[in-house]
Amino acid sequence: MKLNLKIWRQENASEKGRLVDYQLDGVTTHMSFLEMMDMLNQLLIEKGERTIEFDHDCREGICGQCGMMINGRAHGPLANTTTCQLHMRSFKDGETIYVEPFRSSAFTVLRDLKIDRGSFDRIIQAGGFISASTGQAPEANSIPIAHETAEAAFDAAACIGCGACVATCKNSSAALFTAAKVVHLAILPQGKLETAKRVDAMVQQMDAEGFGHCSNTEACEVECPQGISVLHIARFNYLYHESRLLSKT
Amino acid sequence: MNALNANIPEGALEDKWSNFKEKAKLVNPANRQKMELIVVGTGLAGASCTASLAEQGYRIKSFCFQDSARRAHSVAAQGGVNAAKNYKNDGDSVYRMFYDTIKGGDFRSREANVYRLAECSLALIDQSVAQGVPFAREYGGYLNNRSFGGVQVSRTFYARGQTGQQLLLGAYQALMRQESLGKVKTYTRHEMLDLVLIDGKAKGIITRDLVTGEIERHAADAVVLATGGYGKIYYLSTLAMGCNGSAIWRAHQKGALMSGVSWIQFHPTSLPQSGEQQSKLTLMSESLRNDGRIWVPLKEGEQREAGLIPEEERDYYLERRYPAFGNLSPRDISSRAAKERIDAGFGVGPMKNAVYLDFSRAIKAQGKAKIKEKYSNLFTMYEKITGINAYEQPMLISPAAHFTMGGLWVDYQLMTSIPGLFALGEANFSDHGANRLGANSLLQACVDGYFIAPYTIPNYLADELKAERVKTSHPAFDEAEAQVKAKLQQLMEIKGSLSVDYFHKTLGKLLYDKCGLSRSKEGLQQAIEEIKALRNKFYTDLKLTGDEHLNSELEKAGRVADYLELGELMCLDALQREESCGAHFREEYQTADGEAVRDDEHYAYVSAWEWKGENEQHVLHKEPLTFERVSLTVRSYK
Ligand SMILES: Cc1cc2nc3c(=O)[nH]c(=O)nc-3n(C[C@H](O)[C@H](O)[C@H](O)COP(=O)(O)OP(=O)(O)OC[C@H]3O[C@@H](n4cnc5c(N)ncnc54)[C@H](O)[C@@H]3O)c2cc1C
Ligand code: FES
């Protein structure tokens, strides 16, 4: 099939970017979206032009490195699917496709579609861990954890940190990302003890990075490749308020 | 050269590691903060090592090429991690795990290393649970297990189909904690391009900032490479696009020996190639083989759909050839058996390059809900990629390049032949012999980083304490930096007509055909000549566009340049080993019914190659393998 592509090109963080038109012929339905981008880049090389920079690594939906706004949607038209898992069978011959980077005040565009998501790492540094140094652990089966609890913790822990939740949110909120980590650790007996301190520090960091507030539009859950539920945000808010109360007493 | 002393501690097999730990030298806490380490890699091996040593008090610089430490390719491991906890009371023990691993590796690994791996597996599960890794649990709240290929016990711990991700997040979070405490500084989007030696010891690295393009110098008292596997050399593989052999290759060119280079595992249950533009083969976790049955049609050139082929016209070839292990036969055997059927004309799917993995019987016996609970994300992933619902039709699978048993030669302390240079995780050659058992490599990466390096690196540093701290103004850094810059410039200036991907794909195809699932003397000799020619063409006809700042094409070019040299060494390694063992199957050395013929009399050694310079012949050293506890048997899974 033949495609009209409008792709965001930007030299670096300080220069302005713009959409550039490209035509691509010979795309097949079983190609992935990124393989389509590879094909376009091959053409650009033939023409002697700089290739389009985009992030990707595992190409199987788990590393969280890929991510583009495709026709205005984070990771493209399918719900709960990363850009690398999107295939060209989701598009029509002759279609015009807009491709832009994930945008947020807390993500900087580095070049073309590549962005800096270091703010996520800093939110985790603020408290997204259990303070268990190597060697301190007790025998693994000494603390039983209910099957349902372990499964619920997994549901939250499955976050791949791609930033689609932020990119799709009109407030650029990182609430789903942060909530997923807070809840994952809070519901496990190993992580529970540090909850109050953790949630407080992570929220502060989230704000310091310039992420916006959550106004419960629930847009994030739709785009999240792991389908992480917005109910985690409710629980996160509860834990946050609880930590504030505790710190007052 | 005396580098090939593996430094195995004294004592009985069971006591060696304890004996080492008891005598290992220590650095006093006040001195630890004076010492600095470089750890390249933030996968399970790198992140766990960095966090554990930072907890002890060392200052560490940590590097990765992705945009966050959490994205190292360990994240993609699906199936699980082994440990000899014997929670199932099914006869497992440290010794049995040791034996399974030695045998699985076709008796081409060190007894002492493998025993230690099994021994340390127990503590790893404890550690991960303490970090909050949500492993699967039984209804009573205790940890659950499943079994994996090549063993008869259930010792695999798992977190749905995302075990690697969950283990890595545990290690990443431990790393981030140390960063917040100021002990660690992570350099993301940085690529190591050279190792710096001072007086023969590893004392620093040269990196490129992948955003600005800046070439940087970093000095340290010791350097750790935990840079993962190089299976991406085949282009089509289960590895991530950025996985590379460059860090270890550049260390190799500085004198570190490389071992078992041609021992590369092909995973039996990957999705088949479906088109020319394909960039990656997605793995379907081996755990699927617990419930899925593998078959091809009995009739050559069968045209009917899978569902219309009656039971008696199906060939469950693994169950037929290996009745004791059946669909759970080890990877090398399963992959080769699939290739044998596909090459013989029984392949299925649009390109006739696949076999079926069928769940119909398991769904009938256990119900769809149970199968869904066990594998839902894998079935969803399969549908996303192929558009096919595997609850209704069998999956199409085929073998894909997956794991490199080979890597930098290391001694028992995980130190390479360069003093002060350590190699951890998939980047070293150590524990898996000629074939790795499923779920053993997450384990090895973790054990190397959490439990071994935190003893062996201080043991080295204790003697370095007296040495002067090196500065990046040392002439050795000038020289290394100049070399790196010259190399990058050379690549930019070729100005030919063919893209990097062209060279990578051509090399990959060539290696897949001649140094892949099976090898022959003639094929390997041809491959060596063809790789040399391809390399010449690369340096005369490569075309790079863009500038020296952020430029993915330039990054790829550096990696492919190294692959073009590493690929030749792979062939050389395969050529010299005139036997079949594990993943290394030489067509000349097989029984009448196609089973591998090992030659313990002549090849019970680890190859260790020494780089002699560009266009010079590599020199082969041998580390003989001596077996005190196990007797070498034919590795039969019949
Ligand atoms: C799809 C897949 C599924 C798997 N499933 C399983 C499983 O179920 N069970 C199991 O036991 N094993 C499994 N494995 C194998 C296992 O995941 C790996 O062997 C293991 O995770 C390797 O860990 P590592 O830390 O050595 O390397 P990696 O996790 O690959 O990390 C390498 C690190 O090095 C960095 N790096 C590399 N080169 C450079 C450079 N030049 N400069 C700077 N940084 C660099 C990278 O950025 C990264 O941080 C699987 C492998 C794959 C590919
Ligand atoms: S490339 Fe890893 S999630 Fe898309």
CA distance B400 to B237: 6
From the list B217, B331, B341, B586, the catalytic residue is B331
Residue B573: CB partners within 8 Å, gap ≥ 6? B260, B261, B262, B406, B607, B609
**Would you call B545 and A136 a contact, using CB atoms and an 8 Å cutoff?**
no
Mean pLDDT across the stretch B54-58?
A: 98
Query: How close B76 comes to chain A (CA, Å)?
Result: 6
Amino acid letter for position A84: C
**Is the separation of the CB atoms in B205 and B223 below 8 Å?**
yes
Is domain B270-399 in CATH 3.30.750.200, yes or no?
no
Torsion angles phi and psi, residue A108, rounded to 5: -100, 140
B475-604 fold: Methane Monooxygenase Hydroxylase; Chain G, domain 1 (1.20.58)
Residue B152 has pLDDT above 90, yes or no: no
CA distance B113 to B625: 12
Task: Please report which ligand is nearest the Cα atom of B148.
Answer: 1
Amino acid letter for position A218: E
Q: Chain A: residue nearest B447 by CA?
A: A134
Confidence tier at A248 by pLDDT (50, 70, 90)? low
Cβ neighbourhood burial of B340 (10 Å; 0-12, 13-18, 19+):
middle
Residues B496-530 have pLDDT tens digits of 999 999 999 999 999 999 999 999 999 999 999 99
**Is the separation of the CB atoms in B312 and B246 below 8 Å?**
no
User: Would you state the structure tokens that stand for residue B558, as one six-digit string?
Assistant: 């550096």
**CB < 8 Å to B242, chain A:** 57
Residue B3 has pLDDT above 80, yes or no: no
Residue B150 has pLDDT above 80, yes or no: no
Amino acid letter for position B136: A
User: Would you state the structure tokens that stand for residue B302, as one six-digit string?
Assistant: 């069968």
Give the H/E segment covering residue A116: strand A114-116
Count CB pairs under 8 A between chains A and B. 221
**CB < 8 Å to A141, chain B:** 85, 87, 142-143
Q: What is the mean pLDDT of chain B?
A: 95
Triad A58, A8, B232: Cα angle to 5°: 20
Distance between alpha carbon B622 and the CA centroid of its chain, in Å? Answer: 22
**Is the separation of the CB atoms in B332 and B340 below 8 Å?**
no
Mutation pick from B85, B131, B183, B227 vs chain A, by most beta carbons of A within 10 Å, is B131
Mean pLDDT across the stretch A170-195?
A: 98
User: Would you state the structure tokens that stand for residue A2, as one six-digit string?
Assistant: 């033949």
**Would you call A145 and B137 a contact, using CB atoms and an 8 Å cutoff?**
yes
Rounded to a whole number of angstroms, the CA Rg of chain B reads 24
Give the H/E segment covering residue B258: strand B258-259
List Cα–Cα distances, A182 to A149, A168, A201, B53, B196, in angstroms. 14, 21, 11, 26, 42
Query: How close B137 comes to chain A (CA, Å)?
Result: 5
User: Would you state the structure tokens that stand for residue A205, as one six-digit string?
Assistant: 């960091």
Confidence tier at B74 by pLDDT (50, 70, 90)? very high
User: Would you state the structure tokens that stand for residue A74, as one six-digit string?
Assistant: 């984070």
Q: Ligand 1: distance of its center to the CA of B316 in Å?
A: 32
Q: Which residues pair with B62 in a beta bridge?
A: B39, B186
- DSSP assignment, residue B183? S
Torsion angles phi and psi, residue B40, rounded to 5: -95, 120
Cβ neighbourhood burial of A222 (10 Å; 0-12, 13-18, 19+):
middle
A79–B contact, CB cutoff 8 A = no
**Domain ranges in chain B?**
270-399, 475-604
Residues B231-277 have pLDDT tens digits of 999 999 999 999 999 999 999 999 999 999 999 999 999 999 988 88
Residue B449: CB partners within 8 Å, gap ≥ 6? B44, B45, B46, B47, B48, B49, B50, B52, B171, B226, B424, B425
Our separate counts of H helices and E strands in chain B read 18, 19
> How large is the angle between the packed helices B16-23 and B111-131, nearest 10 degrees?
70
Mean pLDDT across the stretch A148-167?
A: 98
**Is the separation of the CB atoms in B462 and B26 below 8 Å?**
yes
Residue B286 has pLDDT above 90, yes or no: no
Residues B361-400 have pLDDT tens digits of 999 999 999 999 888 888 988 988 888 999 999 999 999 9
Confidence tier at B148 by pLDDT (50, 70, 90)? confident
List Cα–Cα distances, B282 to A59, A165, B144, B402, in angstroms. 8, 25, 26, 10
Confidence tier at B493 by pLDDT (50, 70, 90)? very high
CA distance B509 to B512: 5
Place of tokens 């795990």: B97
The count of residues in chain B is: 638
Kindly report the number of other CB atoms within 10 A of residue B253's CB atom: 16
Place of tokens 């963080």: A13
CA distance B411 to B606: 12
**Is the separation of the CB atoms in A130 and A189 below 8 Å?**
no
Q: What is the pLDDT of residue B618?
A: 97
Q: What is the pLDDT of residue B79?
A: 86
Distance between alpha carbon A1 and the CA centroid of its chain, in Å? Answer: 30
**Would you call B174 and A129 a contact, using CB atoms and an 8 Å cutoff?**
yes
Ligand 1 atom closest to Cα of B192? 42
Residue B369: CB partners within 8 Å, gap ≥ 6? none
Mutation pick from B85, B163, B277 vs chain A, by most beta carbons of A within 10 Å, is B277
Query: How close B140 comes to chain A (CA, Å)?
Result: 7
Share of chain A above pLDDT 90, in %: 97
Residue B46 has pLDDT above 50, yes or no: yes
Residue B615: CB partners within 8 Å, gap ≥ 6? none
Give the H/E segment covering residue B407: strand B407-408
CA distance B228 to B7: 24
B177 part of the active site: no
Mean pLDDT across the stretch B86-92?
A: 96
Q: What is the pLDDT of residue B2?
A: 47
Residues B548-600 have pLDDT tens digits of 999 999 999 999 999 999 999 999 999 999 999 999 999 999 998 888 999 99
ipTM reported for the complex, 2 dp: 0.98
Structural domains of chain A, with CATH: 2-108 (3.10.20.30), 117-134+141-247 (1.10.1060.10)
User: Would you state the structure tokens that stand for residue B545, as one six-digit string?
Assistant: 């566009």
> How large is the angle between the packed helices B500-514 and B552-576, nearest 10 degrees?
20
DSSP letters spanning B432-500? TTTSPPTTSHHHHHHIIIIIIHHHHHHHHHHHHTTSPPP-TTSHHHHHHHHHHHHHHHHHHH---SB-H
